[in-house]
Amino acid sequence: MNSIPGLPNINADQLDMPSMDKLAQVGDMRHPPRILLLYGSLRERSFSRFLTWEAARILEHFGAEVKIYDPTDLPMVGSVPETHPKVVELRELFLWSEGQVWCSPERHGAITGVMKNQIDWVPLEQGALRPSQGRTLALMQVCGGSQSFNVVNTMRLLGRWMRMFTIPNQSSVPMAYKEFDEEGRMRPSAYYDRVVDVMEELFKMTLLMRGRTNYLTDRYSERNDRAIKAITRQIQQI
């Protein structure tokens, strides 16, 4: 291992020196940004689904290709094989996406089981792939009563755990039953304006990130670990 003066514990051969040149986009990025939206309720009149639809309309107006996953009939995590069609669909959508929107109601001060079940079905690693790593993420919640941020805070923690780039802005809609009409459309309000803010920020950050995520998520610790394992295999073969 080649060490660095003053940093003797660092393997110089595996240390990347970041630069603007290395942040250039890689690949053909002319396709529309691909955004997956998840919601956390199975109710017929679901405000988290209504809010998700509003977000999807805004993203489509910006030029995104949008897909919304329907959690109906998704079994509880671990109760069926991973080959179940709803599980396969969810995981394929994660791999397809470049950015995501998660929207959950608040139930007992936390996200719903429906929302958590979707996230729990997606592994950090799937063979050689990491289905969630490097995707951008926007968070929204609906509340039955006064405004709260318990759900978006919980999902922010989950997004970090899933190695996603969660944008700073977020949306929390209090007394959601007042904010949507009979057709499920959100009424004009400061809360609706915030949803526009969040989708605008997500779209911008997705454009900035795509074509760069492989470089941005390439870690010294993992490169160094691979190098050590390669040397160990070579020694064992001698």
pLDDT tens-digit series, residues 54-74:
999 999 999 999 999 999 999
Q: Give the chain's domains with CATH numbers.
A: 29-237 (3.40.50.360)
Choose among 175, 173, 171: nearest CA to 194. Answer: 171
Q: What is the DSSP string of 110-173?
A: B--HHHHHHHHTS-S-BTTB-SSTT-EEEEEEE-SSS---HHHHHHHHHHHHTT-EEEEEEEEE
122 CB neighbour count, 10 Å cutoff: 18
> Average pLDDT for residues 120-126, to the nearest whole number?
93
**Is 90 exceeded by the pLDDT of residue 129?**
no
Per mean pLDDT, which range of 1-10, 36-45, 91-100, 171-180 is the poorest? 1-10
**Is 90 exceeded by the pLDDT of residue 227?**
no
Task: Provide the 8-state DSSP code for 36.
Answer: E
Q: Which residues contact 4 (CB under 8 A, 6 or more apart)?
A: 10, 12, 15
Q: Is the pLDDT higher at 128 or at 33?
A: 33
Tokens of 95: 């791999």
> Average pLDDT for residues 182-201, to the nearest whole number?
97
Question: What pLDDT is recorded for position 122?
Answer: 96
Q: Rg of the chain's alpha carbons, rounded to an integer?
A: 21
Q: Give 179's pLDDT tier (boundaries 50, 70, 90).
A: very high
Long-range contacts of 189-195 (CB under 8 A, 24+ apart): 192/54, 194/169, 195/51, 195/54, 195/55, 195/58, 195/140, 195/171
d(CA 173, CA 195): 9
Question: What pLDDT is recorded for position 132?
Answer: 93
Question: What pLDDT is recorded for position 237?
Answer: 85
**Is 90 exceeded by the pLDDT of residue 139?**
yes
Q: What are phi and psi of 115, to 5 degrees?
A: -70, -50
**Is 80 exceeded by the pLDDT of residue 177?**
yes
> Average pLDDT for residues 88-109, to the nearest whole number?
97
Residue with tokens 């089981």: 113
Are 64 and 33 contacting, i.e. CB atoms less than 8 angstroms apart?
Answer: yes
**Is 90 exceeded by the pLDDT of residue 75?**
yes
Q: Which residues contact 186 (CB under 8 A, 6 or more apart)?
A: 50, 51, 54, 179, 180, 192, 195
